[in-house]
Amino acid sequence: MALAAGAVAPDFGLLATPDQKVALSEFKGPVVLIFYPADWSPVCSDELSVFSAASRLFHARNAQLLGISVDGPWCHEAFKEQRHVAFPLLADHNPKGAVAKAYGVYRDDDDTSERALFVIDGDGKVVWSEVSPVGVNPGADGALRAVEALS
């Protein structure tokens, strides 16, 4: 069961590049966590393209976007470069899916994560979350509205 509004967001430190870790606690403003099953899948590519296109809207509201999947940092690097993703992609790969499990969105049947969005406020609490079917791109509108509501 995915974490709901009001829950304390578990902190984490994940690789954003093969030699750079990013921790949730580093960010003071709103953070949007974009859990997705895998780099290179058609729906994931579309979803991350939508968030990349909307990234200026989130940044204008002092929100940080972070993509998270069980793929490794080298895979993320290649994917980001080819798809021009405008925000960090974090590798939840060692131990596999540990952060997805902490947020209640790990898929045991295929060892990936659900397609899930979480908006975390400056106090480290979940203020909005949504889990979509794996084959459906949820878009960025719901997360953007949740970030705007924090203003």
Q: Kindly report, residue by residue over 128-146, the tens digit of the pLDDT.
A: 999 999 999 999 999 999 9
Domain definitions of the chain by residue range: 13-149
Rg (CA), the chain: 14
pLDDT in tens, 81-114: 999 999 999 999 999 999 999 999 999 999 999 9
CATH class of this structure's domain 13-149? alpha beta
**Active-site amino acid positions:** 44
Q: How many CB atoms lie within 10 A of CB 11?
A: 12
Q: Where are the beta strands (DSSP E) in the chain?
A: 13-17, 20-23, 31-35, 64-69, 89-91, 106-107, 112-113, 115-120, 126-132
